[in-house]
């Protein structure tokens, strides 16, 4: 079974477009391309990866599709499209020609309207994804999980995955609220979860592996090993940890699981979910 990193990014750094990468994240205020990641994946025994959008533009799709077409180790792309647009079906039909483009993501966590995902126009766009065999990555903060559950309920046949375990407050050791909401959304069997983005929600310079275990307990128990997948969130993770450290957190947690279960977490589930 191939080992797959289900979540990472590439960008040509633009300080205006990428203003979310502020001075506290200066270590990633630079370009990150496939040539930078490939040796890191090889060194860590990872066979391939899924690129996820960081810029909300169709130009981002073409940039990442070009990266994927050029590099065999890039197995899939999660892009962006304006799901609320009146011409959304036309855009989905257009993007369906690109075989490595597997799905889409909108930065819901950044929307001032916290239940943006329940807007009729957005729901219309989501309703069309299955027709073109596209997945959807749910990027939310804990306060939006209750809306994400309502959202997922509307589309029982669609494939959804929660990014970064919905970004709980790891540095403050808070599980309350997030735990119950994750357990609730996990009841929907079409919703998966990426075990990714955890180190950036912890204390960047002083985290310990066992800081993450209570959160991983919740996710593993709620979703089971059939619906969780490892993701590094490279290069964003570099503000708090090296790639190998991120991988080791998840590897160590699942060390007591069967080989079959580990194969799912570290590749099989991503391959199935994204049709890689």
- 195 DSSP assignment: E
Distance, in Å, from the CA atom of 24 to the CA atom of 10, rounded to the nearest integer, reads: 19
According to the model, what pLDDT value does residue 249 have? 99
Architecture in CATH of 4-274: Alpha-Beta Barrel (3.20)
pTM above 0.95, yes or no: yes
According to the model, what pLDDT value does residue 28 have? 95
Q: Are 236 and 199 in contact (CB under 8 A)?
A: no
Calculate the alpha carbon distances from 63 to 115, 163, 270 in Å: 30, 22, 22
Q: Residue 218 corresponds to which tokens in the numbers above?
A: 């919740």
Residue with tokens 């940890």: 241
According to the model, what pLDDT value does residue 144 have? 98
- 143 DSSP assignment: G
Q: Which residues contact 68 (CB under 8 A, 6 or more apart)?
A: 51, 74, 75, 76, 77, 100
- 229 DSSP assignment: E
According to the model, what pLDDT value does residue 231 have? 99
> Is the peptide bond between 104 and the residue preceding it cis, with omega within 30 degrees of 0?
no
Q: Residue 51 corresponds to which tokens in the numbers above?
A: 């690129």
Closest by CA to 209, choosing from 244, 245, 173, 233, is: 245
According to the model, what pLDDT value does residue 238 have? 98
List the Cα angle 3/8/12 in 5-degree steps: 140
According to the model, what pLDDT value does residue 1 have? 84
Per-residue pLDDT of the chain (276 residues; tens, 9 = 90+): 899 999 999 999 998 899 999 999 999 999 999 999 999 999 999 999 999 999 999 999 999 999 999 999 999 999 999 999 999 999 999 999 999 999 999 999 999 999 999 999 999 999 999 999 999 999 999 999 999 999 999 999 999 999 999 999 999 999 999 999 999 999 999 999 999 999 999 999 999 999 999 999 999 999 999 999 999 999 999 999 999 999 999 999 999 999 999 999 999 999 999 999
Distance, in Å, from the CA atom of 100 to the CA atom of 65, rounded to the nearest integer, reads: 7
């Amino acid at each position: 079974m191939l080992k797959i990193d289900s979540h990472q990014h590439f960008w040509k750094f633009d300080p205006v477009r990428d203003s979310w990468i502020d001075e506290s994240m200066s270590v990633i205020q630079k370009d990150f391309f496939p040539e930078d990641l490939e040796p890191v994946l090889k060194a860590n025994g990872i066979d391939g990866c899924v690129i996820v959008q960081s810029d909300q533009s169709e130009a981002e799709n073409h940039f990442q599709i070009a990266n994927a077409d050029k590099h065999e180790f890039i197995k899939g792309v999660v892009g962006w499209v304006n799901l609320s647009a009146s011409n959304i079906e036309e855009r989905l039909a257009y993007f369906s020609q690109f075989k490595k483009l597997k799905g889409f993501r909108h930065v819901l966590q950044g929307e001032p309207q916290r239940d943006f995902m329940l807007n009729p126009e957005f729901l219309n766009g989501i309703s069309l994804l299955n027709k073109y065999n596209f997945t959807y990555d749910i990027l939310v903060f804990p306060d939006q999980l209750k809306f994400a559950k309502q959202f997922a309920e509307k589309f029982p046949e669609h494939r959804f995955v929660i990014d970064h375990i919905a970004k709980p407050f790891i540095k403050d050791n808070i599980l309350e609220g997030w735990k119950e909401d994750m357990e609730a959304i996990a009841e929907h069997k079409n919703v998966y979860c990426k075990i990714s983005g955890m180190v950036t929600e912890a204390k960047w310079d002083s985290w310990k592996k066992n800081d993450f275990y209570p959160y991983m307990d919740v996710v593993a128990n709620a979703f089971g090993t059939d619906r969780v997948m490892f993701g590094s969130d490279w290069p964003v993770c570099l503000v708090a940890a090296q790639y190998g450290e991120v991988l080791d957190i998840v590897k160590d947690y699942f060390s007591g699981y069967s080989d079959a279960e580990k194969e799912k977490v570290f590749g099989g589930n991503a391959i199935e979910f994204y049709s890689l």
